[in-house]
Amino acid sequence: MTKLGPPILFRFIFMFISASSYAQQPSTYCSNTAMVPVFKQDFGVSANSNASSAAAPGSTNYNFGNVSSDGNYIVTPKVDNANKADWTKGGDHTGNPNGNMFLVNAGGGNSIFVQETVTGLCAGSSYSFSAWIVYPKITFNIRNLSNAIIATYTTDILPLSPVNGPVNWQKYGFQFALPVNTGSLKIEIVDAWGGAAACGNDVAMDDILFEACIPQITVSLTSGSSDICTGATSNLTTTLINSPYGNPAYQWQKSNDGGTSWNDLGSPAIGLTQFSITNAKILDGGLYRVHVAPTIPSLTNETCSAHSNELNFTANPLPKLLPSTNAPICSGNNVWFNANPSGGSGVYSSYKWTGPNAYQSTAANNTIVTTQTMATGNYTVQVTDSKGCSDTAALYLNIDSTPTLKIISLTDTICSGSTASITLSSSVPNSAFYWNASLQSGNIAGNLSSINPESTGIKQNILINNGISNGVVKYSAYAQSGTCVSNTVDTTININPVPTIANAGADITICSGSQASLNANVALVGNGQWKQISGPNTALIQNSSSPTSSITNLIPGTYSLEWSITNVCGNSADTMLINYTAKPNPIFTLIDSVVCGPAQLTFTNNTINPQLYNFQWDFGNGTTSNLANPLPVLFNAAISGADTSYNITLKAISNCDTVAYSKTIIVKSSPTAQFAISPQNNCLPLQVKFDNQSIGFNTSYHLFYGDGKDTLWNNNASITHLYQSLIGTTFQPYLIATNSCSADTIFKSITAPVNALIIQNNLTDTTICGFPYTATFTNNTTGATQFTWSWGDGTPPINSAIAAQVQHTYSDTGSFNIVHSIKSNCGDTTITKTIQIFALPTIAIAGNDTSICSSNSIQLHANTPTIGKGKWKQISGPNTIQFADSSIANTTISNLVPGNYIFEWSIQGTQCGSSADTMNLQYIAKPIPSFTPSDTSLCGPVQLTFTNNTINQQLYNFQWNFGNGTTSNLANPLPVLFNAAVSGADTCYTITLKAISNCDTIAYSKTIIVKSKANLQFIATPLNSCLPLNVLFKNQSTGANTKYQLVFEDGKDSLIAANDSILYTYQTTKTSLFQPMLIATGACGSDTLTEYIQAIANNVTLQLDLKDTVVCGAPFTLSFNNNTSGIQQFNWNWGDGTSSIS
């Protein structure tokens, strides 16, 4: 073992495994395996835990001995026995202190941990190759006898085991499908590092297994039960979960001795997933299971076959019924019937009786109490014993009919003089009825005699109660059919007297107080009751059931009272009146006490008990009314605009009193808008006076002048307004007068023509640089009669009667006032502006352009100004320079560095701007070329951009050579295309940049690497054959640093190296077209190449009745049925020397 890092890394042993048929896939070793493994290596047991021993000869290429050195192994119970301080500690994964493991210090050029040849493999099987391992990365290989790898799996790097233990044992492995026509294989577990030195590559392993994968086999019932009754049917089925078999074989078996021995049931067959037990007999009881293997011959091979669970089956005998009854009997009596079971298990768990009228019972012995004729009919009973077995029997019950009498209608309570009616019904048609009537109490008159027997079952009698209390008559009856007598029906009739006729007494009138006495007649039959019918709801009747009660809490009004006498036979009622008149208290309400007139108002009379009085209204405006609630009344506002008060009076008049009530309302007036204008016609601008002459109380005013302006005020004061406009127009001012009642508006008109004079010229204050200067003035004024121009420099003015363009020349500097006088019919207008004329500065001359090669300072030579001040400044170039004095024309600059400079000499005038000139200074230094490509290691073909990083590159010329035949003279060249090598190898290109000045040519170079995609090519043979199909894949691709993955297109894949081969088996049940794909993945991405493989299904289904046979007597003729499909030719050989049949 080679250690490549700090010691702390090696205080652990890596442990990981994953598995499938191919490298670095999740672990998928079988969860269910055959009864006996094909190969098992657990390395045995030592005499003690400190012992060590050697493995079987030829099983490994590692050396037995000192595991302190790479390439050595021991078989031992503990990792501690290696005496390696940086290894973990602990024993084998089973916990047996003397159980051995295989412990290796890997490396040293050796790579085979375990190898073995396995034989007797079963066709159509999948196998699992697994081990318990503590190791970072190993490979499981399966080879054919020609030593070609047909399946492989490599674990990835795994977690560590703690240095002080315990050992982190884990089981890893993978499974694969056995290729066709393969009975033997070589299996091996090898170092994934190939025996090379690697960090943490030491390994411990135990319990290596190579065993056939089997499905999880379950036998269950699809119908029926495992504990059934004789004569029944049960269907057994088997299901396979995670089955590796393509088309498995089945053999059903039965054991009669609890599983000690098993007998085959029928012959084995492909797809025999079900077994039926029909018309079960007691001898069919026993254990059942199914034996499953990939093929029929392999059913005898315990290394690739398996059994299902065992299903216990029992057939139980049936019970027997002999039912009995006491029928026939008559209805109304109790009938019984019993099941009387025997046989079966002897323990009866349930009974089920059914019969007429949906009869049901779960008892063995049953009684129907007071049975009726509808119970007549067939009864069926089913008994079930404790094993679920049952028997069914029938029994007939005959029930004779006994009449049943019932009342179907009855008037059990009547009033005196009414008819008592009773209607009876018998359950038996044409029954005879027998009646008996008797007086129980009271003074009753009527016919109580009966004529027996009667055939109708109807009894009607008119009964009169001559007393003041209830009377009672009792009726009894029965029915008879033949010799059968029904039940007796008894009922009573109550005869009630009618109530006493009510008399409420005389009407009452009162004028004061709050109480009156009532006087009605006494109720001899029934109950009397006072109640108030109408009137104020304040009254209280002291005893509403007393005919001589008193009534209190009376208030003025008319009361209607009723005295009623009531019992169950009716009601008698009478009424009386109480009239109570009180002093009136008139009052009324109106909608509003302050309104705007004219207004129509409604008055509401709120006088209590208005129906008791007469009314007189006076509305204060000459209008009156005698109605309690008068019609709406119109109230006008004052013409002056002031508020008007009206006094409203209501008089309420009774027989004794007249009482008045008054209220006052105020009627407001709406405003009237009015104003006067002075003047109403004049020229613009126009000052106008507005006099407010409006009428209104508490009024606000809003005057709109008609020119977009307005004024608000709240009195009758006068206001003025100035109208201004550029054109003559008519203005329409209007006034809005507003108070709480309404608003009023009045409109007026004002005519205002415009002043015709329009001044238009370009005369402005002006500053001019340079002289002489000629000023030009444009005059487009209209409406004028005379123009005068004065120039302010002592020259004569110019006069003109028309508007025209004028010019004047100023010959010297100075400040001059220009006066433009304009006369019109409206008056004189004068416009004065100032023109200032200044001298221009001296024209600047910066001197000649200059080049230098080495000095860092130079003197500049510019002209000296006569007008204005001069100043040097740097326009461009390196910012390191300093001026000795930038205001001197012949100044010195220092601190120059190589580069191109532009300097400006400018002369600034007093008022009139500046003059400027520039000179160029070039300081040339030795070039230092440099550049950067957009990438240096990339995939081609690729287009790269190169950035020139040379300092002051504007000073030099450049030459590029890109190493691919392409050149450029640009400082920063256009993008350049670099191709990749056709072979797939990396290509190096040397890029050279030359910087050229007047003195020097300097070169700078860099190298880029252009990578290539892999050149994909693989061969698969054969491309067309029958299933199962073994295909040899050869990877003939070329390319640097490329990983190849072969995807078989049946859900599996494998890593494959360049120029390597893999033998792969396609297994399926039907003809399929596979498209295996080779995927190449490298630094330049992925690429794919696809091939097409036709796998043709073997459709042979062998179905014939040929089997070993023993026959007694000769000659004997045999017949064979051949239903085999998928075969083109058959050949029969009889084994007796006769000719075969084809």
Q: What is the DSSP string of 310-327?
A: -EEEEEEPPEEE--EE--
Residues contacting residue 888 through CB under 8 Å, at least 6 positions apart: 870
| Confidence bin at 1126 (pLDDT 50/70/90) | low
Does 24 score more than 50 pLDDT? no
Summarised one tens digit per residue, pLDDT across range 192-241 is: 888 777 666 788 999 999 998 888 899 998 877 788 898 889 999 999 88
Mean pLDDT (the chain, rounded)? 85
CA atoms within 13 A on the CB side of 642: 3
pLDDT at 800 over 50: yes
Structural element, H or E, at residue 235: strand 234-241
Average pLDDT score over residue span 566-593: 86
What length does the chain have? Answer: 1142
d(Cα 205, Cα 274) in Å, to the nearest integer? 43
- For 121-136, what is the mean pLDDT? 86
pLDDT for 1050 beyond 50: yes
Count Cβ atoms below 10 Å from residue 911 Cβ, excluding itself.
Answer: 14
The pLDDT of 395-403, averaged and rounded, is: 86
Q: Find which of 75-84, 425-434, 507-516, 921-930 is predicted with most confidence, using mean pLDDT.
A: 75-84
Phi, psi for 137 (deg, rounded to 5): -165, 110
Dihedral over alpha carbons 265, 266, 268, 274 (to 10 degrees):
-70
Grade residue 704 by pLDDT with cuts at 50, 70 and 90: very high
**In contact, 72 and 66? CB cutoff 8 Å:** yes
The whole-angstrom separation of Cα 177 and Cα 170 is 24
- How far is CA 951 from its chain centroid? 61
Q: Match 């450029």 to its residue by tokens.
A: 968
The per-residue pLDDT for range 174-189, each reduced to its tens digit, is 988 889 889 999 999 9
What confidence tens digit (pLDDT) does each residue in 513-561 have?
Answer: 778 899 999 988 889 999 999 989 988 999 989 999 999 998 877 899 9
Would you say residue 22 has pLDDT above 60? no
pLDDT tens per residue across span 349-387: 999 999 999 999 999 999 998 888 888 999 999 999 988
Question: Three-class SS of residue 90?
Answer: coil
Q: How many CB atoms lie within 10 A of CB 257?
A: 9
- Rg of the Cα trace of the chain? 67
How far lies 566's CA from each of 419, 500, 521, 533, 540, in Å?
21, 8, 13, 17, 22
Q: What's the mean pLDDT in 939-957?
A: 87
Over 858-906, what HEC string results? Answer: EECCCCCCCCCEEEEEEEECCCCCEECCCCCCCCEEECCCCEEEEEEEE
Judge whether residue 10 has pLDDT over 50. Answer: no
Q: Are 694 and 673 in contact (CB under 8 A)?
A: yes
> Are the CB atoms for 211 and 127 separated by under 8 Å?
yes
The pLDDT of residue 157 is 65
- pLDDT higher for 1126 or 495? 495
More confident residue, 940 or 56: 56
The residue ranking higher by pLDDT, 1077 or 727, is: 1077
Confidence of residue 826 (pLDDT cuts 50, 70, 90): low
Taking the C-alpha atoms of residue 134 and residue 68, their distance in angstroms, rounded to an integer, is 18
Nearest to 927 by CA among 894, 897, 901, 957: 957
Give the model's pLDDT for residue 19: 30
* Nearest by Cα to 1021 from 1004, 1036, 1002, 1041: 1036
pLDDT at 1102: 67
Strands 773-777 and 766-769: what pairing?
unpaired
Lowest mean pLDDT among 43-57, 254-268, 1109-1123: 1109-1123
Is residue 1052 over pLDDT 50? yes
Which CA distances in Å does 892 have to 757, 844, 905?
66, 18, 13
Alpha carbon distances (Å) from 177 to 86, 182, 212, 1052 = 41, 11, 10, 12
Checking if the pLDDT of 727 tops 80, the result is: no
Mean pLDDT of 804-812: 86
The pLDDT tens digits for 998-1032 are 777 889 988 888 888 878 888 889 888 888 888 89
Q: How much of the chain, in percent, has pLDDT values that exceed 90?
A: 29
Can you tell me the mean pLDDT for 39-55?
A: 92
Which pLDDT tens digit goes with each residue over 601-616? Answer: 889 999 888 887 889 9
Q: Which of residues 1072 and 457 earns the better pLDDT score?
A: 1072
305 by DSSP, 3-state: which? coil
CA distance 106 to 768: 103
The predicted structure's pLDDT at residue 805: 85
Strand runs (DSSP E) across 582-706, as ranges? 588-590, 594-596, 599-601, 603-605, 614-618, 624-625, 633-635, 644-653, 658-668, 675-678, 686-692, 700-704
Q: How confident is the model at residue 1083 (pLDDT cuts 50, 70, 90)?
A: confident
Q: What's the CA gap between 156 and 140, in Å, rounded? A: 12
Please report the sign of the dihedral spanned by the C-alpha atoms of residue 223, residue 229, residue 233, residue 238. positive
How large is the average pLDDT for residues 88-96? 89
How does residue 1108 score in pLDDT terms, banded at 50, 70 and 90?
low
pLDDT tens digits for range 243-272: 888 889 999 999 999 999 999 999 999 999
pLDDT on residue 443 = 80
Q: Could you tell me the domains of the chain? A: 7-213 (2.60.120.200), 218-316 (2.60.40.10), 319-400 (2.60.40.10), 405-496 (2.60.40), 508-580 (2.60.40.10), 588-668 (2.60.40.10), 675-752 (2.60.40.10), 766-837 (2.60.40.10), 850-923 (2.60.40.10), 931-1011 (2.60.40.10)
